[in-house]
Structure 1
Amino acid sequence: MEIVDRPSPNHGDRRGGARVELIVLHHTAMPACEDALGRLCNPEHEVSSHYLIGRDGTLYRLVDEERRAWHAGEGRWAGRDDVNSRSIGIELDNDGSSAFEEELMTTLEALLEDLLERHELHPKAVIAHSDMAPGRKSDPGPWFEWKRLAEKGLSVWPDPALQGDFMRDAAFFGYPVEVGEAAVLSAFRQRFRPFADGPIGTPDRAMMAGLARHFPSDVTERTASRVPSRPFRTL
């Protein structure tokens, strides 16, 4: 996998000896890849990511994986904050209102496969920026192909045959439910039910129950059965 190095000065030490536990996906919401590179590599903006993938599939490395890139900001996942110290951030060159190019997705899939293997992560470790910061962030947005990643063992997809309590199950899966039901529902739908609207319904409760049962967060995983090793697929 060819990588183009475009070093960013915006990084620091991973705090408290934290290891990589998550991979957070973003979209740039900018007109072109060079615009995103300019922002992510500019010390005045104090933002970065470990990788950026262009619409043409070019993979840029901005920050070494050993370092703490500044991509996630405030937010929580699985009951823990400082997501930057515990994650690898990947920016995707996309305007947020259109489909993701095939070349970009192909490169992303190769990168995720490599990262999951090297860091010994379950596919549930791949999350959206909106997952860990619901109500504040909406990327990579409803156009992103999460189900495609799940089909290739690079993310997860819920079992739609269950029923449960939406917010309780959301907490069990890892969402920071303290932000409120509306924010959690919006983040959930952006990833798993793109363009759905209205109040919480049976499909929302069923899919969230499936996530909670099959992919509990690390905080609650000690009481759950051991998950299968990769490759892992659920539809």
Structure 2
Amino acid sequence: MRAIALALVLATLAGCATTPPPPREPVVAWRPSLNHDARSAVVIVLHQTEMESAEAALLTLQTRNSGGRVSAHYLIGDDGALFQLVDEGKRAWHAGASRWGGLSDLNSASIGIELDNDGQEPFSDAQIATLLWLLDDITSRLDIPKHLVIGHGDIAPTRKRDPSALFPWKRLADAGYGLWPRAPLAPAPAGFDRWAAMRLVGYDLSDPDAALRAFHRHYRGNEESQWLPGDADILFDLQRQLMGMPEPLPLILPTPTPTP
């Protein structure tokens, strides 16, 4: 019996010797480096609530609702009151399916600011004054280029029209925010490619008519879907401004995740 038991033990050991051990997970050794910084926003996107009041907008932005969960980092009331809903270091759900230049996950790359406005009325002086203060604060702290203040309709031209054609983009530009044509405009040269300039500014041209309407809403105060006299001169100046700016650093973003 002892001989049989010994034989069984030897056979078991022989089998183990010829079977490789299961692979082990690699051991991670933490060696922290000081050479890093937090991922941060590089664009500021302006919206209008298209609701009856700031209180109604706050309820939508803070809760689940039938249209899906949405949020923004800030909301500015018609009276200039300022509310913060999401930490700037976190991803608010305000941009949805959108694109600007090489960015396709705008929620991960932007700060969203909602303006209490029904889409049919002018934006109040008190509201714009608060917005200008907030833009100065955010761009200074987060080092966001001041020309990268854009509208929801710019980044999602097939879906969105906000802020409306009544939004005072020139007033923002006079304070140093947003890209705006300089006066007097130099005439565009012969053969100037308007569509190439549109793409350089940042517009997604997958739907050219929608992109042109968004451009006109922002720079001409209308929503025409055909080229207008003067468009080429405006785009020529915007192109010259962008080409004269320093090359931006590569943008590092988290892996895109589905957005509402």
Note whether the superposition's TM-score is higher than 0.5.
yes
Please give the root-mean-square deviation of Cα atoms over the aligned residues, in Å. Answer: 1.6
Indicate the residue corresponding to 1:7 in structure 2: none
Which residue of 76, 90, 94 corresponds with 1:67? 90
Q: Deviations over 1:145-179 (max 9, x none)?
A: 0000000112221133242322110111111112x
Q: Deviations over 1:86-145 (max 9, x none)?
A: 000000000111100111011000000111111112221100001111121110110100
- The CA deviation at 1:197 is 3.3
In 2, the alpha carbon distance for the partners of 1:75 and 1:213 equals 25
Are 1:19 and 2:40 matched, yes or no?
Answer: yes
Are 1:161 and 2:186 matched, yes or no?
Answer: yes
Which residue of 222, 226, 232 corresponds with 1:205? 232
- Checking the alignment, whether the CA contact within 8 Å between 2:213 and 2:223 is kept in structure 1 is no
Which residue of 178, 191, 209 corresponds with 2:218? 191
In 1, the alpha carbon distance for the partners of 2:175 and 2:234 equals 19
Aligned-partner SS, 2:160: coil
Structure 2 residue ranges without an equivalent (≥5):
1-37, 248-260
One-letter amino acid of the counterpart of residue 194, structure 1? G
Indicate the residue corresponding to 2:122 in structure 1: 99
| TM-score of the superposed pair, with normalisation by structure 2 | 0.74
Q: 1:34-183 to 2 correspondence within 5 Å?
A: 34-44=55-65, 45-159=68-182, 160-163=185-188, 164-178=192-206, 180-183=207-210
Indicate the residue corresponding to 1:31 in structure 2: 52
Structure 1 residue ranges without an equivalent (≥5):
1-16, 217-223, 228-235
Indicate the residue corresponding to 1:219 in structure 2: none
Structure showing greater Rg: 2
- The CA deviation at 1:196 is 5.9
